[in-house]
Structure 1
Amino acid sequence: MGRRKMPLCLIALLLWALPASADDAPGSLKKAAFIPQWVPQAQFAGYYVALEKGFYRSHGIDLTIICGGPANPPADCLTSGQAQFATLWLCTGLELRGQGIPVVNIAQMAQRSALMLVAKKASGIRSIEDLQGKKIGVWGPIFQLQPRALFQKLGLDVRFIRQSYSVNLFLRDGVDAASAMWYNEYHTILNTGLNPDELVPFFYHDYGLNFPEEGIYVLEQTLQADPALCCAFMRASVEGWIYAFDHVEEALDIVMKNLREAHVPATRVHQKWMLGRMRDLMLPPSGSWADMGTLIEADYLRVAEIMQKEGFIDAIPEFTTFHEDCTPDAAP
């Protein structure tokens, strides 16, 4: 018999019941700041929900969420001390570590890669092999790790074309297949009027190239100075995500409020799609939300080895120095 899945609401209740440290007592809140990679959106719903619902305060943290984005890179905020916590992709964390910035992964929130290629069936593309000789839209160098590894693995010769974060190049047939995030650009393409049955999606994780993305990162010095704070942040964030998945409409209200405050235009329909896909991506392989935040060593080594092969890093950090287990069961 397979492992029985625990209801999200019960997990949230159990996490809420975890004993707080002495520092969590009223009047002893620790100030901290967190920055996601991008502006407010459902990709980060759990953190905004945790703040709105008081989960961080219940774990002894007076938290401020800083707006991320190209003008405010999370790595800069970490190194400057402006933020103690940030979300980064696993490959970005490894790249920073290779540059001498001592970031530590305290939780791997995304378990599956959302990066994908999308092609139109009208172009005659039906299988991955049909991309032979085609023009492939890609983003910057770090986003090209999976495409390069995929086409090398399959022995396909393709032409990379730099694409912007708009899907216009793909819609105008400037590329035969475009890069997209499942929770974002793919849905944008659908909203232009193309139906799913008119598209051919290729997920890298289906080809043995799972590069899990969002994780929570701190600097080594932050972790060493206050490990309890780091694990408290992890606990509260998990509670926020579980609550968001169990209370979708309320979570969307919170996300939309933060989008308005940041003056970011967005539709509720798109944010709902994004939240649903984040749920799919964050579900641990065990099938239990109690394991949320686990960094699987095999995934880590897969990403690190390809990054080393492609020259992004010189050496692979020891897993135990790169990742500190702050999942609820391991937290102090």
Structure 2
Amino acid sequence: MEHSTRLTRSRVIGGIGALAATAIVLTGCSSGGSSDSTDSASDGDLTPVSLQLQWFSQAQFAGYYAALDQGFYEKEGLDVTILEGATDIVPIDVLTGGDADFAISWVPKVLGSIEQGAAVTDIAQIFERSGTTQVSMKDKNITMAADLSGKTVGSWGYGNEWELFAGMNKADVKLDDISLVAQAFDMNGFLAGDIDAAQAMTYNEYAQVLETENPATGELFTPDELNVIDWNTEGTAMLQDAIWADSDRLADDADYADTAVKFIKASIEGWAYARDNPEEAANIVTASGSQLGESHQLWMTNEVNKLIWPSTSGVGTINQDQWDQTVKIAMDTPNETGATVISEEPPATAFSNEYVEKALAELKDEGVDVMGEGYTPIDVTLKEGGE
């Protein structure tokens, strides 16, 4: 399917204006999108909505870019602006500061903010599975958390370490049993041999290794040369990418609550599009200005789809057992300083299925597959450097 994308860039004003974050607005011109959303928006027919991402434009957020490009947001009467993240942008701070209407962030990171007073609600749990792993070379014989004992273990920190620490705790591996290394957000230390087991997202850093030439063979590394600890398998996975809304606005502003349902609905339709059209979705993200290579972008789209599909209860539903596991780990797992994410149960307002259930009901009535029971990943061939 051919599609064209018109990009406009503007500075984000308000609380994050000083950070010079980039707002990206895509207007879809392919079949399924409307013919002229820019004119509609100028006529005042659409409700302006801003979404704060937790990182730069990449296929981790393919569903939102696809919903924008394909006109799904416009179909719901929304004029959506996507705000890119950066290392110094905390999505929940942007949301609570009034500079975004919705934000994408990991649940454990937000639980800490909620305990500190942030009034926000998880209104759609898009990623049902965790994408966090520990990757090692085959000859290190690290296949499970128990094998980390005596090894040099990389961790990004900044709230990304909790699944690792929980997995070690479950396997009775103490922090004193490993050499913990502050890992950069890349795999350079791992590839240099300074880290035995490195933290890696399935959709990003793991691919970085597979995009690199193995000096011993002269060919790119292959999965057969690596071992991966999957926290989903180890039983310490925590909920990641979710759509967050302002709790007070949900309670006090009926229009905002209605907009939340529309935003969730269109976003899920965007993720269904990314599931069924991964190549097109990857191209849409690339056209948004992402700096990642084409094969890496497609790999990321494919791997993120695996975290969503098939869905247990309908995409976006917050499953109580998964929420409870995330909260328990956040309360019971200490980091290297002895601190936990939270000290007590979060309030009832921390998540709600009210809005996603309405969105799912409408999507089902319109024939959109929100379960993906027959989902099958595609095969992606990575090129050197992800090009």
TM-score by length of 2: 0.74
CA contact (8 A) 1:84 1:222 kept: no
- Identify if the C-alpha distance between structure 1 residues 128 and 302 changes in structure 2 by more than 3 Å, giving closer, same or farther: closer
Q: Secondary structure at the match of 2:210?
A: helix
Alignment partner, residue 268 of structure 1: 294
Alignment of 1:253 onto 2:283: yes
Q: Structure 1 residue 285: deviation in Å?
A: 4.4
Deviates more, 1:194-203 or 1:134-143: 134-143
Amino acid of the structure 2 residue aligned with 1:282: I
| Aligned counterpart for 1:103 among listed residues 110, 115, 120 | 120
Alignment partner, residue 160 of structure 1: 180
Mapped to 2, the partners of 1:98 and 1:155 lie a distance apart of 28
Alignment partner, residue 292 of structure 1: 315
Alignment of 1:314 onto 2:343: yes
Q: Secondary structure at the match of 2:288?
A: helix
Mapped to 2, the partners of 1:71 and 1:218 lie a distance apart of 20
- RMSD of Structure 2 on Structure 1 (CA): 2.1
Alignment partner, residue 222 of structure 1: 249
Alignment of 1:56 onto 2:73: yes
Q: Structure 1 residue 57: deviation in Å?
A: 1.2
Amino acid of the structure 1 residue aligned with 2:57: P
Aligned residue pairs, count: 302
Ranges in structure 2 where 5+ consecutive residues have no aligned partner: 1-32, 34-42, 213-219, 335-339, 364-387
TM-score by length of 1: 0.85
Alignment of 1:304 onto 2:321: no
Q: Structure 1 residue 138: deviation in Å?
A: 0.6
Deviates more, 1:114-123 or 1:179-188: 114-123
Higher RCO, 1 vs 2 (CA within 8 Å, ≥6 residues apart): 1
Mapped to 2, the partners of 1:124 and 1:32 lie a distance apart of 49
Mapped to 2, the partners of 1:235 and 1:283 lie a distance apart of 16
Alignment partner, residue 30 of structure 1: 47
Alignment partner, residue 9 of structure 1: none
CA contact (8 A) 1:134 1:158 kept: yes
Q: Structure 1 residue 169: deviation in Å?
A: 0.6
Ranges in structure 1 where 5+ consecutive residues have no aligned partner: 1-15, 17-25
Amino acid of the structure 1 residue aligned with 2:277: H
Alignment partner, residue 47 of structure 1: 64
Mapped to 2, the partners of 1:139 and 1:30 lie a distance apart of 38
Aligned ranges 1:77-226 → 2 under 5 Å: 77-156=94-173, 157-192=177-212, 193-224=220-251, 225=253, 226=256
Mapped to 1, the partners of 2:311 and 2:261 lie a distance apart of 22
Q: Structure 1 residue 174: deviation in Å?
A: 0.6
Q: Secondary structure at the match of 1:179?
A: strand
Structure with the larger helix share: 1
- Identify if the C-alpha distance between structure 1 residues 126 and 76 changes in structure 2 by more than 3 Å, giving closer, same or farther: closer
CA contact (8 A) 1:33 1:84 kept: yes
Q: Structure 1 residue 68: deviation in Å?
A: 1.2
